[in-house]
Amino acid sequence: MSRGGALVTGSATGIGRGIALALAREGYDVAVHYRRSGAEAEATRSEIEALGVRAITLQADVTDSGAAAMLVQETHSRLGSLAALVNNVGNYVYGPLDELSMEEWEDVFATNLDATFAICRAAVPLMRAAGGGRIVNLGYAGAQNLVARSNLTAYAIAKTGVVLLTKAIARAEAGSGITANVVAPGVIENSATKPLREIPAGREGRIEEVAAAVVYFVSPEAAYVTGQVLEVAGGWNL
């Protein structure tokens, strides 16, 4: 029996794909979202369907608030519910602060923070009407501790915003059966930069480990857990 519909943004490849597959294994029907990676999204959809659940592919530019809202509505309509939402989309810029352009700054905020807000704003009323739901937003290890990383300034600030947004949703919706939490990856196998010497565990994380943290937050056992940040980072900020 299906656990309901799940939307994972940016799920054609990488961490998003891993999360989509993990949710499918837990019994969710999954909406695979993409912006440009149509062929990869179709491949992910096929993998999910092979696990015995339903899967659809949906294209949208989630930096457009109208498109973001339509993405949520279409997921709900085609899958019959929106029981779980994972906001995974977020561009990443690495480089010195004094070389960061306004265009890069605005893109990082649009994809990481603004898109997450737009998607959540559309999803919460649907979940509230259904008596509950699970929201998991992807953060960044250290953002909740206000750890400065000079080559990741825009990204770190945007992800700090994601943490505060998630906590605000968690507080506002705690009585409606909706939980909202953050999974905060550190250096993962597909990370653009890998400062492994800074990681106490001495290795990069696996996509499956990030996905497992998401699965916990959407599980029945986590129904009383909301507004929390779970780092998957090998002790990076200890």
Catalytic residues: 155
Closest residue by Cα to residue 116 from 93, 141, 136, 130: 136
CA distance 172 to 223: 15
Considering Cα of 52, then 54, then 58, then 62, what sign does the dihedral take? negative
* E-assigned strand segments in 126-228: 133-138, 178-185
Contacts of residue 224, Cβ cutoff 8 Å, sequence gap at least 6 = none
**What are phi and psi for residue 113, nearest 5 degrees?**
-100, -50
Q: What is the largest CA-CA distance in the chain?
A: 53
The separation between CA 220 and the C-alpha centre of its own chain, rounded to angstroms, equals: 19
**Residue 131: is it exposed, middle or buried by C-beta count within 10 angstroms (0-12/13-18/19+)?**
exposed
The answer to whether 224 touches 178, Cβ cutoff 8 Å, is no
Q: Which residues pair with 183 in a beta bridge?
A: 138, 230
Q: Which residues pair with 169 in a beta bridge?
A: none
- Residue 141 token pair: 């290890």
Chain position carrying tokens 């090998």: 234
